[in-house]
């Protein structure tokens, strides 16, 4: 019985982490392709520099997740939409939540990340 309670708590914890935060949009890579030419948006890739160097989408600037809180304050405009991508969508969701806490209002996460790009 205790095992089931622990299993349920662990399941709820992981499900809670995957639920999108209010105010953060989720779009597919197909939707992203329609927006890449929009100069009013800020495109951020939060993967490591080595991952970014191997393959990236030209419109995206590399701001690794571990440096994002500092770089966001210095290099991003809070009144412009920020579109965030990583390899699978997990780090970009974490980055999106971080940006939301920093006061960014219009944040979009790419579902599936670079893995879904092809």
Residue positions annotated with a catalytic role:
86
Phi and psi at 80, nearest 5°, equal -105, 150
Report the distance separating Cα 48 and Cα 102, nearest Å: 21
Q: Tokens 């690794």, residue? A: 64
Q: Which two tokens stand for residue 62?
A: 């590399």
**41 and 32 in contact (C-beta within 8 Å)?**
no
Report the distance separating Cα 83 and Cα 109, nearest Å: 6
């Amino acid at each position: 019985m205790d095992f089931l309670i622990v299993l349920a708590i662990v399941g709820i914890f992981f499900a809670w982490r995957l639920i999108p935060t209010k105010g953060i949009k989720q779009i597919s890579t197909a939707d992203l392709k329609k927006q890449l030419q929009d100069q009013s948006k800020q495109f951020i890739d939060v993967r490591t520099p080595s991952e970014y160097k191997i393959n990236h989408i030209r419109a995206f600037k590399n701001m690794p997740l571990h440096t994002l809180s500092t770089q966001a304050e210095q290099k991003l405009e809070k009144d412009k939409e920020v579109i965030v991508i990583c390899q699978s969508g997990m780090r970009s969701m974490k980055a999106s939540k971080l940006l939301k806490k920093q006061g960014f209002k219009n944040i979009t996460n790419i579902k599936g990340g670079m893995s879904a790009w092809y």
